[in-house]
């Protein structure tokens, strides 16, 4: 993705709150999608993770030397915050959906919008938070494997294999002949 201008970043580093707001407005929508789907709970839980992402980002902004893209950097922080929140929720959630046992019922996409939303959430629940992050980062936010590797600390080959495995599970679940 196209990065925000360096002047804004420099101003934010000096503590300019308006510049920080511009960075937030620019990067939060794409961070929000991946956080919302990785946390896979209500908007408030995802909002907490998004807030944590930008608080951490602000705290670490002085250390940013521009070696990597700002988007990748924010993504890395968002990944950690989202995984932490998702794990925290999973620890206290009783009746976690198991793909292997509830597959047939889960992958029937209902026609109504409300039911579809719930179904998407339940299908995502059958994936690990890490799988959810990779799926959304690649398929929805359109990040490259190199960018995802930088954010997650994994190598590109492992990520390709992981995404292939996720798609195979979805394909199997939906009964589709899904192609990469």
Partner 1 sequence: MTTKTEQFLTRLAEVPDIPSQVFPATVRAIRRQRTFSRMVGAAAALFLIAAGITSYYQLPHLMNRTAVSDEVSTELQTASDYLNGNDIEYNMSRAVLVDLSDF
Binding to partner 1 in span 46-105, by CB under 8 A: 47, 50-51, 54-55, 58-59
By residue count, the chain amounts to 180
The smaller minimum CB distance to partner 1, of residues 59 and 157, is found at 59
Of the chain, the end-to-end C-alpha distance in Å amounts to 22
- The nearest distance, CB 94 to partner 1, in angstroms, is 25
Which tokens belong to 146?
């190199």
- The nearest distance, CB 33 to partner 1, in angstroms, is 5
Angle, helices 156-174 vs 145-152, to 10°: value is 110
User: 37, 44 in Cβ contact below 8 A?
Assistant: no
Binding to partner 1 in span 8-27, by CB under 8 A: 17, 21, 24
Greatest Cα pair distance in the chain: 54
Indicate the burial class of 122 (C-beta count within 10 angstroms; 0-12, 13-18, 19 or more).
middle
Decide: is 32 part of the binding site for partner 1 (CB under 8 A): yes
Which tokens belong to 16?
């300019």
The smaller minimum CB distance to partner 1, of residues 67 and 177, is found at 177
Stretch that binds partner 1, among 66-74, 85-93, 153-161, 165-173 (CB under 8 A): 165-173
Q: Which residues bind partner 1 (CB under 8 A)?
A: 17, 21, 24, 28-29, 32-33, 36-37, 43-44, 47, 50-51, 54-55, 58-59, 107, 109, 116-117, 120, 123-124, 135-136, 139-140, 167, 170-171, 174-178
């Amino acid at each position: 993705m196209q990065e925000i201008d360096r002047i804004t970043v420099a101003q934010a580093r000096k503590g300019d709150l308006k510049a920080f707001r511009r960075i937030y407005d620019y990067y939060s929508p794409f961070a929000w999608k991946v956080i919302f789907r990785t946390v896979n709970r209500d908007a408030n839980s995802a909002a907490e993770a998004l807030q944590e992402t930008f608080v951490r980002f602000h705290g670490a902004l002085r250390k940013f030397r521009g070696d990597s893209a700002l988007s990748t950097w924010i993504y890395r922080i968002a990944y950690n915050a989202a995984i932490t929140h998702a794990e925290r929720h999973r620890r206290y959630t009783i009746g976690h959906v198991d793909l292997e046992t509830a597959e047939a019922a889960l992958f029937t996409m209902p026609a109504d919008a409300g039911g579809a939303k719930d179904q998407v959430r339940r299908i995502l629940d059958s994936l690990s938070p890490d799988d959810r992050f990779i799926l959304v980062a690649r398929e929805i936010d359109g990040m490259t494997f190199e960018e995802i590797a930088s954010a997650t600390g994994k190598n590109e080959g492992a990520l390709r294999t992981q995404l292939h495995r996720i798609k195979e599970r979805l394909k199997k679940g939906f009964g589709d002949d899904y192609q990469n």
